[in-house]
Amino acid sequence: MASDYPGSNNNSQFKLQNIFNVENKVALVTGGGSGIGLMLIQALAVNGAKVYICGRTEEKLERVAETYGQDISGQIIPITCDITKKEEIASVYDQLASKEKYLDILINNAGISTATFQTESSSAEEMKKNLFENEDATFQDWDDVYRTNVSSCYFMSTCFLPMLQKASEAQHGWSSTIINITSISGQVKFTQHHPQYNASKAATLHLTRMMANEIQSNGLTIRVNSIAPGVFPSEMTAGESGENQKSHIPKEKFEGKVPAARPGNDRDMAGAVLFCATNTYLNGEHITVDGGYTLATGR
C-alpha cells in the first residue's frame, strides 16, 4: 500500500511541524555550554523540547540557560557533570529519572582536542622526532582524548538505555535516539596534525554503528546515528567564546579551502540535528555536514 490513507489526501503529514516535530521531547546534550552543543540545544529548545545540558563548567551552562532559555516554547536545564566519570554519569541518570518518565534524545557531543604535531617530515628520523620524541606525545594524552571522545559516548549511551527505551514504548510512532557528534576528522585519511583526535573520532564513528547494531539485535527500539561536522565555530576551533557563549571564525580563512567557502553555522547544524532526531527511519548512519570538505579532500 503506497499510503496510510488510500484515496485520501495526506498533504498535512508533509508539513514541517509534522516532519521535524520535537515539541515536548525530552533531550540531554553533553558539552552544552558552547560551540556545536549550544547550536544543538537551541535547535531543540526553540522548537519546544525540554533540554537538559551538561558540562563541567557551571557558569557556562547557567549563562546558556539564561541567554537562550527565555521566551521559547521549550526549556534549557543545566546539570553540571564530568562525563568521563562513571559515577557522575550515573548521578545524571538518577536526576533525570527522578524528574522525567523517559528520555527521547541523547546527544553525546562533549569532546576535546589536545596537542598538535608536525606530521610533515623529510626523513624517518625527523618523523620519529616529531611524533615519538615530542614531549607532548604521550600515552596519557591519547588516553585523555579517547576517554572524553569515545569511552564517554559508550558509557553515557549504555547508562541511559532504560530511559531511552521507555520513550519509544510510551509514544506510538516515535523511536528514541542517540546522536553522537563525531567529525570529518574520523573520516579523512589525514591526521590534521592531531592523530589522537582523528583516531578517536574514527572510533566513535564505528562505535555508533556497533551500538546501533547491538541495540537492535536485542530487540530494543533506540536509533543510534552520528553527525560528522566539518569546521564550525566553537571554543575548540576559535579558542574562545563571547559573553553569549558563541564563537566566531573569520569566513576569509575558509575561502579556497572548503567548497562552501565558509565555516558551518547555526542553521547548518540545526537542520542536521532536527533531521537526525525526528527521522525514525534513520539508524546506524553518519550524516556528514562539512560544506563539501571531504568532497574536496577525499577520505
Under the rule (CB under 6 A), what is the footprint of ligand NAP?
A: 30-31, 33-37, 54-57, 60, 81-84, 109-112, 148, 181, 183, 229, 231-232, 234-237
Grid cell listed for 293: 570538505
Enumerate residues 6+ apart whose C-beta is below 8 A from 202: 186, 187
Q: Which is nearer to ligand NAP, 47 or 148 (CB)?
A: 148
Nearest to 107 by CA among 227, 202, 219: 227
Min dist CB 263 to ligand NAP, Å, is: 7
Please identify, using beta-carbon distances, which residue of 36 and 106 lies nearer to ligand NAP: 36
- Shortest CB 36 distance to ligand NAP, Å: 4
CB 50 within 8 A of CB 283: no
* Whole-number Å distance between alpha carbons of 84 and 92: 12
Report in angstroms how near the CB of residue 110 gets to ligand NAP at its nearest: 4
Element (H, E) at 177: strand 176-181
Name the minimum Å distance from CB 261 to ligand NAP: 16
Task: Name the DSSP letter for residue 186.
Answer: G
- Closer CB to ligand NAP, residue 174 or residue 275? 275
Give whichever of 77 and 165 is closer to ligand NAP, judged by the CB atom: 77
Question: Environment class of residue 291 by beta-carbon count within 10 Å: exposed (0-12), middle (13-18) or buried (19+)?
Answer: buried
Q: Which is nearer to ligand NAP, 173 or 239 (CB)?
A: 239
The rounded radius of gyration (Å) of the Cα atoms in the chain is: 20
- What is the dihedral angle through the alpha carbons of 232, 228, 75, 112, rounded to the nearest 10 degrees? -70
The residues that are catalytic are 183, 197, 201
